[in-house]
């Protein structure tokens, strides 16, 4: 099990990828888009800077209510992914400015999103979601389409809990930089979302699209 992936967005105000690399991080997953129109303003320049440090790069889309195919088209247009760009749908409960639950991407739109990405790229994206939200949306059912997506589980308790669609987690976001198990910080960015990979470095590189010997 590895602890060498972080995920970022424009909310991480100060980022130094040289220091991040020297701290032992191998992969970075950055917010790219949200809904059918929003683009993270830091995505493009940080992708260039991270790749210059030979970090593996990934992009995630924050799902919103509305047409899943339109959101997928926006995501792919912004990211223009290479085979070595990891792709993820962030499927979670949305909240309003007062911290109250708000309308979120539907299960049907999530299925349409990942299906469209697969059709355009030949790859199933990862699916990021909180343990409790996945249980709420999917219950005890097995979703045959989402089962094609590797699971990136967000849960800040001591033990990950897996919804019935997946046999296990591939990545586990175990902390948001404050809550969850330590360590919480990485040199070059400070406290941030940190993620374990359920496997070896070769396995992580294969997931990312890098050939291994």
Are 122 and 81 spatial neighbours (Cβ–Cβ below 8 Å)?
Answer: no
Are 195 and 188 spatial neighbours (Cβ–Cβ below 8 Å)?
Answer: no
CB contact set of 3 (below 8 Å; sequence gap of 6+):
183, 194, 195, 196, 197
The pLDDT value given to residue 195: 98
Domain 2-208 is of which CATH architecture? Alpha-Beta Barrel (3.20)
213 residues of the chain, pLDDT tens digit each: 899 999 999 999 999 999 999 999 999 999 999 999 999 999 999 999 999 999 999 999 999 999 999 999 999 999 999 999 999 999 999 898 888 999 999 999 999 999 999 999 999 999 999 999 999 999 999 999 999 999 999 999 888 899 999 999 999 999 999 999 999 999 999 999 999 999 999 999 999 999 766
**Alpha-carbon gap, residue 91 to 82, rounded angstroms:** 23
The pLDDT value given to residue 158: 87
The pLDDT value given to residue 52: 98
The pLDDT value given to residue 212: 65
Residue with tokens 């059918």: 36
Domain ranges of the chain: 2-208
193 phi/psi in degrees, rounded to 5? -65, 125
CB contact set of 53 (below 8 Å; sequence gap of 6+):
17, 18, 20, 21
């Amino acid at each position: 099990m590895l602890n060498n992936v972080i995920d970022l967005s424009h909310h991480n105000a100060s980022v130094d990828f040289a220091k991040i690399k020297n701290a032992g991080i191998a992969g970075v997953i950055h917010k790219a888009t949200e809904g059918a129109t929003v683009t993270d303003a830091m995505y493009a320049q940080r992708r260039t800077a991270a790749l210059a440090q030979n970090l593996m790069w990934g992009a995630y889309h924050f799902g919103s209510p509305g047409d899943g195919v339109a959101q997928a088209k926006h995501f792919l247009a912004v990211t223009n992914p290479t085979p070595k760009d990891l792709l993820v749908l962030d499927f979670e409960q949305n909240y309003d400015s007062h911290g109250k639950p708000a309308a979120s991407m539907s299960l049907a739109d999530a299925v349409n999103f990942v299906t469209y990405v697969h059709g355009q790229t030949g790859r199933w994206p990862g699916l990021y979601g909180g343990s409790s939200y996945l249980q709420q949306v999917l219950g005890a059912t097995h979703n045959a389409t989402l089962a094609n997506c590797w699971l990136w589980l967000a849960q800040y308790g001591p033990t990950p809990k897996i919804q019935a669609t997946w046999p296990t987690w591939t990545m586990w976001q175990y902390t948001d930089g404050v809550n969850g198990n330590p360590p919480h910080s990485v040199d070059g960015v400070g406290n941030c979302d940190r993620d374990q990979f359920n496997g070896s470095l070769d396995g992580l590189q294969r997931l990312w699209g890098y050939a291994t010997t």
